Chains A and B, each alone.
Chain A
Amino acid sequence: MSKALFKDVFRSIIRTRNRFLSIAAIVALGISVFAGIKATAPNLKDTAEKYFYDYNLSDISIVSTIGLSENDIYKISKVSGVEAVMPVKSADVFIEVDGKKVIDIEGAQYVCRATSLNMDMATAFQNGVNDAAYMNRPDLLEGAYPKQENECLIDSSAVTSTHKFAIGETVTLTGDNENLKNKLKNTQFTIVGIVRTPMYISVERGNTLIGSGKLGNFIFIPETNFVTDYYTHAFISVAGAFGYKAFSPEYKAYVEPVIKDLEAISEDRVRARAMSLSIELAPQVERGETELAAKEIEAEQKLAEARELVKQIKYYAENGDEELAAKKEEFESSLSDAQRRLLSGRSEYNAGLAEYNRKLAEYRAAKAIADQYPNARADYARAKYDLEEAKKDLDEAENALNETRRLLDQAGEEGNLSNYVVVAQAVARVLAGRAGESISPETLEQLQQAINEENAQQVYFILEGAQRALEGELNKAKYEYQVKEMQLEAAAQDIKKLDELEAAEKKLREAELKLNAGSSELSIGELTLNMRQMELKYELTLAEEKLAQAKAKAKTADEEYAKKEAEVRQQLQNARHDIDNAKKVLASLDSAAWSVDGRDALPGHVEYDQSADNMTAFSAVFPVFFFFIAAVVSLTTMTRMVEEERVQLGTLKALGYTSGAIAAKYLIYATLATLIGTVLGLAIGFVLFPVSIYNAYSIMFTTPKIILAFRTRYALIGLILFLAAVSSGAILACRSALADNPSKLMRPKAPKKGKRVFLERIGFIWKRMSFNTKVTARNLLRNKRRFIMTLVGISGCTALLLTGLGIKDSISSISKNQFSGENAVAKYDAQIVLNDRNVSGISPEETLAGVKEDVRVKDAILTHMRTLNGSSEREPDTVLPVSILVPGNTEDLQNFIKLRNRKTGEAYTLNSEGVLVSEKFAAKTKTNPGDEIFVTLNDGSNVNMKVAGVVENYAFHYIYMTKELYTQTFGEEPVFDFITAKLSDNIKSMDETERNAEKTKLATDLAKRDDISVVVYTDQAVNTFNKLLKGLDALVFIFVGSAGALAFVVLYNLSNININERLRELATIKVLGFYDREVASYVFRENILLTALGVASGILIGIPLHKFVINIAEVNIVMFGRSISWLSMVIATSVTVVFAIIVNALMRQKLKKISMVESLKSVE
């Protein structure tokens, strides 16, 4: 090829870069879809394989119904082919957080497998040691390994739990009717790390023997926690097994012989173990029984005592108030008495003080006065003496007088002188006594004379005179006496003053004493009062506290008692369980066996493989479509290009270039475009598709990030295919042109023949069509190939969009069809989990009655649910976990679960003729009504059941059977552990916030009851599902993206070609004066019609395509809704139309730019 021609190629690439890029784009699109989807399955498998290798997934696992002893482990390790054995102890437990039981989204208690982690091995692994014996290693995603015994690592996925576990939380493990202390040292663990492990790659964790039968998650705890002396699992790694590709049949064949060998030794080992257990347990059981009986009696006694105590406390609490009030009053009154007394004491004191002061004043006054008479006493003494003297005088005088008088009188009476003389003598004597005073001696002499003379008259006369003198003397003495008396009085008064003073002093002293006494008394009184006050306050406070305490205690006394009672009963229960469990073990010894399984038995293992394989199936169909489009688009484009360059072709031919050389240009053009497209497509496809599909699947699987390997094989295949497609298009395009002789090529191409459209033959339609319509009809059909291409492109776009949106519909409709829609399968709103009747003492029937009474519950039935593995004779390899559901009342079940066949619409009633199975289960196990299915019990035996009908169901698998049939089938009556309930219409008609509040309240109220554990609303399941399904958005996005890209490239390309072919025509009508919009509609009327037709056919194609994809992509546990919503159809249509409009808008610009002058110049 000449240099000039080479230049031509590259210049034309640049000049027609839109065309070049559109081919590259369609190739990129096609190859990215092809290579991307094809690479997904191997990438997924490789990712898993690396995960298995890095974290040493075991090849074989052995479980024994009676555990494995050290000896067993030893014997296992000796089997040929066994590289290493890792024995593990585990316990399946219930789990609690903050005292609340964790429940799963179906309402059952969440079951957790506590698995032992050999800390030495784990540490060694962290330090880089790769020990083959350390298998099923945890992959630490967050946090750290346990350093202490009571720390644990928890499963990173807890999809079916209603609680999200986090690092730092403390979880409590409890047993299902067993005392965990028999197995574990600790039952409380703090989460220190979050892990995943290759043993559980699907979010399904498999089955368990406890609870509802579904295992929820796992935790790793240090091995030293286990106090049991046997192992529950033995994991085996087969030498050389990692040399085979995971999931491959070669691998399975390689491991199979080892499994067989292990099974061969199992019988002997089991028998040995059974023997040793029997020897160990039988006596323990006996002893246990007797001990338990004794303990039970003791317990009852203690409980009775406790009850009494409670009664007392309560009594005190109730009556304490009155007592306290009375006491308070008492205190208060005594206190006020004392106060009153104190008050009066005080006032007394004050009075005393006043008195004292008064007395003091008086004393002072008295003293002042008394001081004026210092000699008062002496004076008084003298005065008294004087008075006495005076008295004496007086008396004497008086006597003398009286005597005299008497004598006188006497004399007078007798009248004789002799008397007078006697008397006179007497008187003279008397007077003599007084001579010198009143009686002068002369008188006396006279008297004497008279007497001597016996002058009676003289005597009388003198005596009278003497009497008078005596009287005078007497008066004088009296007067003197009075004076002296007065003097004495005065002195006495003075003395009185002194006396008064003394008295005052005395009184003062008295007052002082009194005062002092009073003062100290007062102090004492005050002190006493204060002390008393404090004392009383203290006592009162004490009493109040005591009462408050007592009251508080009384409140909780009942609860505490109940708690204690529950504890005690629980302990007794535990002991009973222990004995029962031991008995069970003893009973199972005869039928004990090992279960030796390869990796297929691991939950999710087979599903993962299948999902990857599904992608392979997918990749067979999907990319073909794109490939086809790519081929035809490139053909059309190259054809156009060749046509445009006809003249040049002819010229080159005329110049003598060979056809090969000329064709080479187009080949190079096409090849380069393909190469660029391939590079781009692979870069995008190898990343985008595997990652998106992985993300979509990550809702079901827990694996490390997907490995993106460049799959050279697919890259090459894709490249070759597309290269072939595009080049053949180029060559085909050239061939017809190159076949013509040069002159023909250089001549203008004969104008295209007008063709009659078939519509024209239908006269009456054709006549009625408007001019524009006729033009459009002609234009549409003039190039059949392009017509079909555009139609295919648009319908492909619509179909893809519809499929993508339809997938989303199907998946989101799971929860709608199952739970929330009007015609949903499950019409109940809540699952109420019942407590063990042995613990609560209340029968399920009673609980049901109680629940039904609640006005917030519209209706309720008892149910029993149990999950086992199920399969059918036809497809024994397909084993699915299926939940057996038994209603308490057979007729009522249909009010809660719709039992109808989706395809035929037939409604079933549950009876004892057979069981009803859910649709997906039936489909997967190829079961029809009338066939038999079986479930596998924990001991490995199968139980057969006859299928009476297949019911519509979208989530999980169910077998419905009557309780009579259950009893007949399993040989024991079902224990009803759930109540399935519908909420009242009242609650359902509330608005969201109100409704949620009511529901929470109802759940709390019900959970308070002894017989009810917890309430789970179906809302929770719906929410979980919706969260799961968000992952599928990525997948949908791929569809929409591809659809858009497809539509765009195809439409753009074809419109471009369309216009280029008709440049002349379009320029002509522009000259004719067509407005821009008229020119546009001239072209686009066809496009619009094509779009309409394309959309319609796209929908017709999309519906079956959607069904196909759904069937492939469906995962086992759910059934996707099969229908596409109207909204999706509308969206698919609108989006396609939008893409078409965008292309039209771009073309519009092109039309505007058509230069009339240039277009009409060229000779063609």
Chain B
Amino acid sequence: MSFIEFDGVYKRYQMGEIVIPAADGVTFSIEQGEFCVITGPSGAGKTTILNILGGMDDCDDGKVRVAGDLVSGYNRKRLIEYRRFEVGFVFQFYNLVPNLTALENVELATQISKKSLDAQKVLERVGLGDRLNNFPSQLSGGEQQRVSIARALAKNPKLLLCDEPTGALDYTTGKQILKLLQDTSRETGMTVVVVTHNQAVTPIANRIISLRSGRVHRIAVNDNPVSVERIEW
């Protein structure tokens, strides 16, 4: 059994008289420790899938399993726990609390999980050891995203989900972030799922899932993922 299993997942939105299927029978699996990239054009349903996987949304049909547990059957409370202990989320727009320092933002996450890592250490690991007491407004985009990643990692989750992590960043910074994600995946064996519409990123992944119009278009497994430094776009 795979670490992550999506089995015929549907998500429909009702917009007046029209029903829009954001996910239209999505089926795939991801193995543990893989660095997986989910790509597709805008509106393909990538974010929808990620949201369902991250426990932020539910599906109308189908099954979602993570580490054997039926996540799609979780009730509200169980979902909260799922998000709390098993998932780390990185947003496109960082979503840091502007009123808290970098360290405090990470502490926000470490407060709630018993098995979390030391906030300061994680920040050091992402290279922000000397920016602990700065507010997000005092950090650059990349630094903010690193704080965001630190926050996600500090929870020590089973699964790290990233929604367009480099979307708001420039080329160099973006690559830095991707490298961080890749290193984390390699070093800690954490399963990382990255959603992006940038096809150029796909070589660094172990598995590439292409979505089109809410369906899985193609799943490609890459036995030899490339290091981030080597890719260009």
Once bound together, how far apart are the Cα atoms of A1157 and B52, in whole Å? Answer: 10
Tell which of A779, A1072, A1075 touches B108, judged by Cβ atoms closer than 8 Å. Answer: A1072
Is B99 interfacial (CB 8 A cutoff)?
Answer: yes
Contact present for A775 and B100 (CB under 8 Å): yes
Of B2-10, B29-37, B80-88, B181-189, the stretch lying at the interface with chain A is B80-88
- A744-759 contacts to B, CB under 8 A, are 750-755
- B106-128 contacts to A, CB under 8 A, are 107-109, 111-113
Contact present for A1076 and B95 (CB under 8 Å): no
Given known A-B contacts A1069-B108, A1072-B112, A754 and B56 have beta carbons under 8 A apart: no
Contact present for A1075 and B101 (CB under 8 Å): no
Tell which of B54, B107, B136 touches A1071, judged by Cβ atoms closer than 8 Å. Answer: B54
Is B173 interfacial (CB 8 A cutoff)?
Answer: no
Is B170 interfacial (CB 8 A cutoff)?
Answer: no
Q: Is the interface of A mostly helix, strand, loop or mixed?
A: helix
- A1034-1064 contacts to B, CB under 8 A, are 1064
Q: Collect the chain A residues with CB atoms within 8 Å of residue B91's CB.
A: 1068, 1160
Contact present for B56 and A778 (CB under 8 Å): no
Q: Collect the chain A residues with CB atoms within 8 Å of residue B56's CB.
A: 1071, 1156-1157
Please give me the residue from chain A that is nearest to B102 by CB atom: A754
In the complex, per-residue mask of A758-780: 1 if CB is within 8 Å of any chain B CB, else 0: 00000000000001101100110
Q: Collect the chain A residues with CB atoms within 8 Å of residue B97's CB.
A: 1065, 1068-1069
Given known A-B contacts A771-B107, A1072-B84, A1074-B112, A754 and B95 have beta carbons under 8 A apart: no
Is A782 interfacial (CB 8 A cutoff)?
Answer: yes
Q: Collect the chain B residues with CB atoms within 8 Å of residue A1069's CB.
A: 97, 108
- A711-763 contacts to B, CB under 8 A, are 750-755
Once bound together, how far apart are the Cα atoms of A1020 and B98, in whole Å? Answer: 68
In the complex, per-residue mask of A122-158: 1 if CB is within 8 Å of any chain B CB, else 0: 0000000000000000000000000000000000000
Contact present for A779 and B95 (CB under 8 Å): no
Q: Collect the chain B residues with CB atoms within 8 Å of residue A1072's CB.
A: 83-84, 89, 108-109, 112, 151, 155
Tell which of A751, A1067, A1073, A1075 touches B136, judged by Cβ atoms closer than 8 Å. Answer: A751
Contact present for A754 and B108 (CB under 8 Å): no
Contact present for A755 and B112 (CB under 8 Å): no
Report B107 CB to chain A, min CB distance, Å: 6
Contact present for A1073 and B111 (CB under 8 Å): no
Tell which of A772, A774, A1076, A1163 touches B80, judged by Cβ atoms closer than 8 Å. Answer: A1076
Contact present for B83 and A779 (CB under 8 Å): no
Once bound together, how far apart are the Cα atoms of A753 and B104, in whole Å? Answer: 15
Contact present for B112 and A1078 (CB under 8 Å): yes
Q: Collect the chain B residues with CB atoms within 8 Å of residue A771's CB.
A: 104, 107-108, 111
In the complex, per-residue mask of B27-53: 1 if CB is within 8 Å of any chain A CB, else 0: 000000000000000000000000100
Contact present for B80 and A755 (CB under 8 Å): no
Tell which of A778, A1157, A1160 touches B100, judged by Cβ atoms closer than 8 Å. Answer: A778
- B53-92 contacts to A, CB under 8 A, are 54, 56-57, 77, 80-85, 87, 89, 91
In the complex, per-residue mask of B133-173: 1 if CB is within 8 Å of any chain A CB, else 0: 00111100000000000010001000000000000000000
Once bound together, how far apart are the Cα atoms of A1163 and B104, in whole Å? Answer: 24
Contact present for B89 and A1071 (CB under 8 Å): yes
Report B207 CB to chain A, min CB distance, Å: 24
Please give me the residue from chain A that is nearest to B95 by CB atom: A1068
Contact present for A753 and B135 (CB under 8 Å): yes
Q: Collect the chain A residues with CB atoms within 8 Å of residue B136's CB.
A: 751, 754
Tell which of B82, B98, B151 touches A754, judged by Cβ atoms closer than 8 Å. Answer: B98
Interface size on A, residues (CB 8 A): 30
Contact present for A754 and B85 (CB under 8 Å): no
Please give me the residue from chain B that is nearest to A1079 by CB atom: B80
Tell which of B98, B108, B109 touches A753, judged by Cβ atoms closer than 8 Å. Answer: B98
Given known A-B contacts A1071-B83, A1072-B84, A1073-B84, A753 and B100 have beta carbons under 8 A apart: no
Question: Most B CB atoms within 10 A — which of A1065, A1068, A1073, A1075?
Answer: A1073
Q: Collect the chain A residues with CB atoms within 8 Å of residue B100's CB.
A: 754, 775, 778
Contact present for A751 and B83 (CB under 8 Å): no
Q: Collect the chain B residues with CB atoms within 8 Å of residue A755's CB.
A: 99
Report B101 CB to chain A, min CB distance, Å: 7
Contact present for B99 and A752 (CB under 8 Å): yes
Report A755 CB to chain B, min CB distance, Å: 7
Given known A-B contacts A1065-B97, A1076-B80, A754 and B89 have beta carbons under 8 A apart: no
Q: Collect the chain A residues with CB atoms within 8 Å of residue B89's CB.
A: 1071-1072
Q: Collect the chain B residues with CB atoms within 8 Å of residue A1160's CB.
A: 91, 93, 95
Contact present for B99 and A779 (CB under 8 Å): yes
Given known A-B contacts A751-B136, A771-B107, A1157-B56, A778 and B51 have beta carbons under 8 A apart: no
Tell which of B51, B83, B99, B101 touches A1073, judged by Cβ atoms closer than 8 Å. Answer: B83
Once bound together, how far apart are the Cα atoms of A163 and B24, in whole Å? Answer: 88
Once bound together, how far apart are the Cα atoms of A1073 and B79, in whole Å? Answer: 8
Once bound together, how far apart are the Cα atoms of A962 and B85, in whole Å? Answer: 88
Once bound together, how far apart are the Cα atoms of A459 and B56, in whole Å? Answer: 212
Once bound together, how far apart are the Cα atoms of A1075 and B113, in whole Å? Answer: 12
Q: Collect the chain B residues with CB atoms within 8 Å of residue A752's CB.
A: 98-99, 137
Once bound together, how far apart are the Cα atoms of A1071 and B97, in whole Å? Answer: 13
Report A1070 CB to chain B, min CB distance, Å: 8
Please give me the residue from chain B that is nearest to A777 by CB atom: B99
Once bound together, how far apart are the Cα atoms of A1075 and B82, in whole Å? Answer: 11
Report B47 CB to chain A, min CB distance, Å: 8
Once bound together, how far apart are the Cα atoms of A357 and B104, in whole Å? Answer: 150
Once bound together, how far apart are the Cα atoms of A778 and B109, in whole Å? Answer: 17
Q: Collect the chain B residues with CB atoms within 8 Å of residue A1070's CB.
A: 80, 83
Contact present for B104 and A775 (CB under 8 Å): yes
Given known A-B contacts A1071-B54, A1078-B112, A754 and B81 have beta carbons under 8 A apart: no
Tell which of B51, B87, B93, B104 touches A774, judged by Cβ atoms closer than 8 Å. Answer: B104
Once bound together, how far apart are the Cα atoms of A489 and B97, in whole Å? Answer: 179
Once bound together, how far apart are the Cα atoms of A750 and B81, in whole Å? Answer: 33
Contact present for A1073 and B81 (CB under 8 Å): yes
Once bound together, how far apart are the Cα atoms of A1070 and B137, in whole Å? Answer: 22
Q: Collect the chain B residues with CB atoms within 8 Å of residue A772's CB.
A: 111
Q: Collect the chain B residues with CB atoms within 8 Å of residue A779's CB.
A: 99
Once bound together, how far apart are the Cα atoms of A1075 and B78, in whole Å? Answer: 10
Report A273 CB to chain B, min CB distance, Å: 92
Report B102 CB to chain A, min CB distance, Å: 10
Please give me the residue from chain B that is nearest to A755 by CB atom: B99
Once bound together, how far apart are the Cα atoms of A1088 and B108, in whole Å? Answer: 20
Once bound together, how far apart are the Cα atoms of A1160 and B80, in whole Å? Answer: 17
Q: Collect the chain A residues with CB atoms within 8 Å of residue B57's CB.
A: 1156-1157
Contact present for A1073 and B85 (CB under 8 Å): yes
Q: Collect the chain B residues with CB atoms within 8 Å of residue A1078's CB.
A: 112
Report B82 CB to chain A, min CB distance, Å: 8
Contact present for B98 and A1073 (CB under 8 Å): no
Once bound together, how far apart are the Cα atoms of A772 and B108, in whole Å? Answer: 9
Please give me the residue from chain B that is nearest to A1076 by CB atom: B80
Report B56 CB to chain A, min CB distance, Å: 5
Once bound together, how far apart are the Cα atoms of A754 and B108, in whole Å? Answer: 15
Given known A-B contacts A1073-B81, A1157-B51, A1157-B56, A754 and B99 have beta carbons under 8 A apart: yes
Please give me the residue from chain A that is nearest to B119 by CB atom: A771
Once bound together, how far apart are the Cα atoms of A238 and B97, in whole Å? Answer: 80
Tell which of A751, A1075, A1163 touches B98, judged by Cβ atoms closer than 8 Å. Answer: A751
Q: Collect the chain B residues with CB atoms within 8 Å of residue A1076's CB.
A: 80
Question: Most A CB atoms within 10 A — which of B57, B77, B97?
Answer: B97
Contact present for A753 and B137 (CB under 8 Å): yes
Report B185 CB to chain A, min CB distance, Å: 21
User: Could you show 13 A-B contacts with beta carbons less than 8 Å apart?
Assistant: A750-B137, A751-B98, A754-B99, A772-B111, A779-B99, A1071-B54, A1071-B89, A1072-B84, A1072-B151, A1073-B80, A1074-B84, A1075-B80, A1163-B93
If A752-B137, A1074-B112 are given as contacts, then 4 extra A-B residue pairs at C-beta distance below 8 Å, sorted by A number, are A782-B99, A1065-B95, A1070-B80, A1072-B155
What is the interface of chain B, defined by CB distance below 8 A to chain A?
Answer: 51, 54, 56-57, 77, 80-85, 87, 89, 91, 93, 95-101, 104, 107-109, 111-113, 135-138, 151, 155
7 closest A-B pairs by beta carbon, nearest first, are: A1073-B84, A754-B135, A1073-B83, A1068-B95, A753-B137, A1156-B56, A752-B98
